[in-house]
Structure 1
Amino acid sequence: MKIVYCILSIYNSGGMERVLCNKANWLVDAGYDVSIITTDQKERTPFFSFSPHITHYDLGINYADLEGLDIARKTIGYLRKQREHRAKLAALLYQLHADIVISMFGPEVGFLYKIQDGSRKVLEIHFSKYFRLQQARGGLWWAADKWRSIQDERHIRKYDKFVVLTHEDKTYWGGCPNIKVIHNAATFLPSEQASLENKRVISVGRLTHQKGYDMLLEAWKLVHERHPDWKLTIVGGGEEKEQRKRQIVALGLESSVELLPPTPQIIQEYLDSSIYVLSSRYEGFGMVLVEAMSCGLPTIAFDCKCGPKDIITNEKDGLLVETGDLAKLADAICHLIENPDLRLRMGHTAAHMIRTRFNEQRIMQQWVDLFNSLLL
């Protein structure tokens, strides 16, 4: 079976890129022919280790070149790039003769299903339905986001299958008949577990508005006042890095918080920690929760749309906190700091749950079954 994935790029260290790497590598090892088509790679090296047996194509569309333009110029530029994208993608797909072509909800969403190359078309979203509006951009940008959200609802019904990551998100799409829930698999299942003895709390993700690190730092100030011997480590890069650095200084947390760049050795960072915190305003799934829990970390997360409640069983393997409630977030962190036996019990339960529900073989078999059903 020949499978093609479409994604903007694979040079970033994000969860979507990591998930694609793991899925593509698994499929190749299982004997599938896998190709990845990007639009914005610009010959940059992939962050994760993709199998050498995967074929890569870059169309050179470069949507990212439009960043920073005003809405009028960006719209005109986007429409031009869309025409170029559709023509180049169609030409390549006619050459490849794929069985399955999968869009990871990139700019091809509005036209991929129209390309009559003989393949079955699958759309998978790594965000939630409301991800555009959750950016909370104002003015004409809000109107544009609203319009594109409406278009999303129209386009998804045109695909042979639409895959979402959570049961929560499925409920938001209005009974779409072609929808299916497939969780992301654990990206690793380490043989050892965190001791949970280090006085270290960790959070991993890009430094963006979505991830809510501004809120985490405000909550951490409250934690620091009660437990000054504990440290917070944030692993990730992004456009808000300098803002967060200034916030750390303004809150007087220079000795209590460290910012580390993305690292391929993220497992060791988890193993060296005792609590994981996710402070996102919104998510598509929350892959970092699965990663942390697979290392035996108890987790604390804002109960945001979408993902945390599909992964964390509240008060069993972690704690869910009302989104944006900084006092409750601080209290939850302090609760686990002050109760080491609870940390151990939740961490053990978390590791077991991940191995049961999110192991790669189980999740990938769901994808194989989906592919086979489309080709019957």
Structure 2
Amino acid sequence: MSILHVVRQFLPNRGGLEDFVANLAREQARLGHRVRVLTLDRLFSAPEMRLPARETLEGIAIERIPFYGSPRYPVAPAAFRHLGDADLVHVHAIDFFFDAFALTKPLHRRPMVATTHGGFFHTSAHSRLKKLWFEGPTRMSVRAYEAVVACSESDARLFQGIAPGSVSVIQNGVDLDKFAGAASPEPQPALLTIGRFAHNKRLDRLLATMRALNAQGPAWRLRIVGVPSDVSAEALSHEIDRMGLTGAVTLHTGLDAPAVRDLIGRSSLFVSASEYEGFGIALIEALSAGLVPVAHPNDAFAWLQGRHPSITLADFADPDAAAAAIRRAYDRLASSAILRGAEDLSEYRWSGVAARYVAVYEAALAEAGHGIAARAA
């Protein structure tokens, strides 16, 4: 089939959403489908730079369109001119594209699937407005979709409230080979975190925890790997200096996978103070690398800990308690009480995830009367 993925930010930007779409698109192309990605022509982290209108990156055909307005709700009316021969439109996340393709469904008449990716509840900011929008426009838009796929059980519970009976769960796929076994073979008092520099990631709490860890001497190191989002690298650097953590904490932006793998090779623990995650791809990647995770008990991480007991949950709102949890995890690692790499992560392999999505697509096409037989006729 011909599949059009629609996502607000994509390659060359890096992040959980971008990696998800890229991996899914590659796996679907490997299965023989025709795949394109439609996205915006500027990165939110570098709005002054306009990207090419058409480009192929990592084997994926990308089409980019201009937008105006805030990155929180970028408006891109040119989207409808790029449907082309798409048999199905797969919209990622809940934003302008989700609403706009729903509103124009009577005109374009394409079967549609949406993946929630946490909706827009990553932070508590503007919570009342978000709830009103979710109960109003989002509730109306979701009716236009043949299928809604939640990437976590918490997402499923949320969206079942506005789309009862039409929400299924497909756990995110993870590239388990990218960092497989990369962690330091010898225990190191070195922590690594990977993700956007965003308010919901609570990097401020990680820094406070580092200060608590090093209160008796600068033994611990923290490497923060990611891309700027609503927190700039400059602001983070200033906070690191202000807290007296210069040298103990380093920032790493714009790294490719081999460079990240090198940093993992000098680390033993993965840490995250994130208050909200749609799923937790970076944590699963950390497990595949042999890092020992210590993470804040948000819904996604708590669910993952129930399946993977080597994950330690700690309340990073309490720096001293989080620091103590990190020390205990390190001590268990040093005494070989934690068997790194022993977790079964096979359910996250992209081959299985992509096959489950194709089954959702076929059901959506059949529901809309656009099944394989109908298209052949």
**What TM-score range do you get, normalising by the shorter chain?**
0.7 to 0.9
Q: Deviations over 1:172-192 (max 9, x none)?
A: 234521111111111232453
- Residue of structure 1 equivalent to 2:117: 126
Using structure 1 for the length normalisation, give the TM-score. 0.83
Match among 126, 132, 139 for residue 147 of structure 1: 132
Other-structure match for 1:163: 149
- Shift in Å, 1:208: 1.9
Q: For the aligned residues, what is the CA RMSD?
A: 2.7
Partner of residue 136, structure 1: 125
Q: Which has the larger share of helix?
A: 1
Counterparts of 2:363 and 2:82 in 1: how far apart (Å)? 25
Q: What secondary structure does 1:368 align onto? A: helix
Corresponding residue SS for 1:276: strand
- Quick one: distance in 1 between partners of 2:180 and 2:224? 24
Alignment correspondent of 1:236: 226
> For the residues of structure 2 that align with 1:330 and 1:272, how far apart are their CA atoms?
20
2:320 to 324, 327, 330: 327
Question: CA shift at 1:214, angstroms?
Answer: 0.2
Matched, 1:101 2:89: yes
> What is the correspondence of 1:249-328 to structure 2 with a 5 Å cutoff?
249-265=241-257, 266-305=260-299, 307-313=300-306, 316-322=309-315, 324-328=317-321
Aligned residues: 346
Structure 2 residue corresponding to 1:205, chosen from 179, 189, 195: 195
Task: Provide the residue aligned with 2:347 in structure 1.
Answer: 357
In the alignment, structure 2 segments of 5+ residues that lack a partner are 43-48, 367-377
Decide which of 201, 211, 221 is 2:211's aligned counterpart.
Answer: 221
Deviations 1:304-342 (CA, angstroms, capped at 9, x unpaired) = 14x212323388221112462333211111112222246
Instruction: Give the 3 Å change call, closer, same or farther, for CA 308–153 of structure 1 in structure 2.
Output: farther
**Counterparts of 2:166 and 2:264, CA distance in 1:** 37
Instruction: Give, in whole Å, the separation in 1 of the partners of 2:291 and 2:125.
Output: 32
User: Structure 1 residues 212-221 or 317-326, which shifts more?
Assistant: 317-326
Distance 1:322 1:110 in 2: 36
Which residue identity is paired with 2:329? L
- 2:181 corresponding residue in structure 1: 192
Inter-partner Cα distance in structure 2 for 1:130 and 1:61: 23
Q: Is the 8 A contact 1:40 1:62 kept in 2?
A: no
Listed as ranges, the gaps of 5+ residues in structure 1 are 68-73
Letter in 1 for 2:304: I
Residue in 1 aligned with 2:159? 173
Task: Work out the percentage of aligned pairs sharing the same amino acid.
Answer: 21
Question: What SS is found at the alignment partner of 1:283?
Answer: coil
Larger deviation: 153-162 or 190-199? 190-199
CA distance in 1, matches of 2:35, 2:308: 41
| SS at 1:232 equivalent | strand
By how many angstroms is 1:348 displaced? 2.3
1:182-235 deviation digits (Å, cap 9, x = unpaired): 111112324534225233110112222111000111011111125632211111
Among 239, 245, 252, the residue aligned to 1:247 = 239
Q: Distance in 2 between matches of 1:344 and 1:264?
A: 32
**CA 227–297 in structure 1, closer or farther in 2 if over 3 Å, else same:** farther
Q: 1:196 to 1:207 in 2, by over 3 A?
A: farther
